[in-house]
């Protein structure tokens, strides 16, 4: 049971780490256009992201895939930028909220990229046989999912307050937050180690 809490807490801290806020930034960018009434869609998006994240860790831990850290560290802010730009240009436009569409596949792919960003560290804390890696990976994924839901819930509360108390329209909220995220992520891209080749 104590091992469960170890990997579960690593998952929680991975998302909620104040020094590695890229994960939180992506989640905010992902949920900007939604409100509490869209909770099923949000839950599905967050879970799809977790699945992508876990698949990447699985492939990395078992040595199936290996990507240079510099490339992944560059791609992570790019995923945030693309998500924020998408919501900036689609703010206020009616979206199809039913069914699985391209957003889910993009979210899955972005989850894979974010998972690769954590794969080297995760491999160092794991040891033993292949079968002994599956349970910690599941425990870690559960911690990731819970932390992501906490972040999304807080983002939705802030969104609700801004839209009801301060009378922001849903469109204006999406525009302001998307622009803010873009402003935060561009320096991350500029400062990426990939340019130091």
Q: What is the pLDDT of residues 89-103, one digit of tens each?
A: 998 776 555 455 788
| Within a domain: 80 | yes
CA atoms within 13 A on the CB side of 170: 15
pTM: 0.91
| Within a domain: 129 | yes
Give the integer Cα–Cα distance in Å for 81 and 123: 28
Torsion of CA 31, 68, 143, 13, to 10 degrees: -90
The domain tally of the chain equals: 1
| Within a domain: 91 | yes
Cα torsion angle, 114, 118, 120, 125, sign = negative
Residue span of the structural domain in which 155 resides: 2-14+40-192
Residues 6 or more apart in contact with residue 105 via CB below 8 angstroms: none
| Within a domain: 25 | no
Q: What is the pLDDT of residues 96-155, one digit of tens each?
A: 554 557 889 999 999 999 999 888 888 888 765 555 788 889 999 999 999 999 999 999
């Amino acid at each position: 049971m104590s091992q469960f809490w170890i990997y579960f807490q690593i998952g929680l801290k991975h998302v909620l780490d104040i020094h590695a806020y890229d994960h939180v930034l992506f989640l905010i960018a992902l949920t900007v256009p939604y409100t509490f009434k869209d909770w099923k869609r949000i839950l599905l998006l967050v879970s799809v992201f977790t699945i992508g994240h876990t698949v990447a860790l699985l492939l990395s831990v078992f040595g199936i895939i290996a990507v240079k850290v510099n490339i992944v560290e560059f791609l992570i802010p790019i995923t945030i930028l693309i998500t924020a730009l998408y919501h900036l240009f689609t703010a206020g436009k009616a979206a199809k909220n039913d069914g699985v569409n391209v957003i889910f596949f993009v979210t899955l792919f972005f989850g894979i990229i974010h998972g690769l960003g954590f794969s080297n560290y995760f491999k160092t804390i794991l040891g033993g046989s292949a079968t002994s890696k599956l349970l910690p990976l599941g425990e870690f994924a559960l911690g990731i999912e819970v932390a992501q839901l906490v972040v999304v819930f807080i983002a939705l509360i802030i969104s609700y307050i801004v839209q009801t108390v301060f009378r922001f329209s849903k469109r204006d909220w999406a525009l302001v937050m998307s622009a803010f995220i873009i402003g935060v992520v561009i320096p991350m891209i500029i400062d990426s180690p990939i340019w130091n080749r």
